[in-house]
Amino acid sequence: MTEAKLDVKKALLDPAGTFDQPDDIVRRRDVPRDVKLRLLEQWEREARSLAVAEEEGMTGGEESMLGRVRRAIAALGGDGDEPTGATTKHGAATTRGSATKRG
């Protein structure tokens, strides 16, 4: 079975509408690694926005794709693992243990 040619520009605008799962991007043999990472990073931004909206009660409770997207990025050797400082759903880095205890 051959894969249909990917319209990268369209996929970058809506990776979740183009692929069923983030791993579908990872498995594509006809897409260069840098393009795969760009697709997954766009999907990650969208998943973060959705996760924030879900937390604020603005959606119908759809499952967040953020974890799956992060694992797919890690599978490609991108920055999919949590950095030393964790990141928020908004994508901002937090620093663990940065506050000093006064006593």
The pLDDT value recorded for residue 98 is 44
Tokens at 92, concatenated: 């901002």
* Sequence spans of domains, the chain: 8-75
Token pair for 19: 């692929």
Question: What is the pTM assigned to this prediction?
Answer: 0.67
What mean pLDDT do residues 1-12 have?
Answer: 84
pLDDT digit string, tens, across residues 37-92: 999 999 999 988 887 777 777 655 555 678 889 999 999 998 754 443 445 555 55
